[in-house]
Structure 1
Amino acid sequence: MKNSTRLTINPHFHAECLADARQHWSVPAGYHQLDIFEMIWIKEGRGTMMVDLEKRPITDNTLYCLFPGQIHRMAAEQDLVGYKIAFSGDFLSAGNAAHQLPAALNYPGRGERIQVMRLNSEVQPEIEEVVRTIVWEYANDQQLKADMLHGLLRILIAYFSRRGTYDLRAPGNDEMVFSRFMNMLDRDFRSQKQVSAYAADMAVTSNYLSEVVKRVSGYSASHHIQQRILLEAKRKAITTRSSMKTIGLELGFDDSSTFSKFFKTKTGVNFSDFRSGWVHA
Structure 2
Amino acid sequence: MSTPQELVACIEKLASLPAAYHRIRELLDDPDSSIHQVADAVAGDPAITARVLRVVNSVLYGFPGKVETVARAVNLMGMQQVHDLVLSTAIIGAFAGIRPARMHMTRYWQDCIFRGLAARAGAKQLGMGDPERMFVEGLLADIGHLVMYQANPEGASAALETALIRQIPLHEAELDHIGCNHAEVGAALASAWHLPNGFATAIGAQLRPAMGGQHVTEAALLHLANRVVATEGQDDPDQAALAGMDPMTAATLEMTVERIGQIRAAVQAEMPAVIALFFPQA
- TM-score higher than 0.5 here? no
Q: Could you say which structure has the larger radius of gyration?
A: 1
TM-score, normalised to structure 2, is: 0.34
Taking CA–CA contacts closer than 8 Å with sequence separation of 6 or more, which of the two structures ends up with the larger relative contact order? 2
The structure whose residues are more often helix, as a share, is 2
